[in-house]
Amino acid sequence: MIKYPRFVTIWVSDQEKARDFFTETLGCELLTDVPYSGEDRWIEVRWPGAQTRLVLARADTELRAVLRERVGAMSHVWFECDDLDATYAQLTANGVEFPVPPGPAPWEPDRTRWAQFADPDGNLYGMSEQAG
């Protein structure tokens, strides 16, 4: 049986910049950073205690042409928070930009609060907190 997602790939233009953003700014642990396929690296990060990892993969020129409309758009990756307001305050203090600050989620305003932040490539991520 499937237990959980092992990793999610995030396409980035600069792996070092993305690694630093996820570790130094967002507070992820660096699990793996090794050479992989030429000039690229295999970089995995995760939040302390989480099982799912994020792979920060460089989109080369050909792939960027294919992904052009996706890089810098909504990533469809969401992170669950135990305290959305505290997480928002911490990340804002770390310089993270939030196009959508914390507020009721339009799809279930009585049960979920959400916010949306951007990484250095402009990829957008959702954060949510469930009520009660």
Residue 8 parent element (H or E) = strand 7-12
Rounded CA separation 41/56 (Å) = 9
Which segment, 44-48, 68-72, 119-123, is predicted with the most confidence on average? 44-48
CATH code of the domain occupying 72-132? 3.10.180.10
Residue-wise pLDDT for 27-42, tens only, equals 999 999 999 888 889 9
Give the separation between CA 88 and CA 129, rounded to whole angstroms: 11
For the chain, domain boundaries: 1-70, 72-132
pLDDT value of position 3:
73
Q: Are 70 and 59 in contact (CB under 8 A)?
A: no
Q: Do domains 1-70 and 72-132 have the same CATH topology?
A: yes
DSSP 70-87: TTTSEEEEEEE-S-HHHH
The CATH code of the domain at 1-70 is 3.10.180.10
The pLDDT of residue 61 is: 66
Verdict on whether the full-model pTM lies above 0.85: no
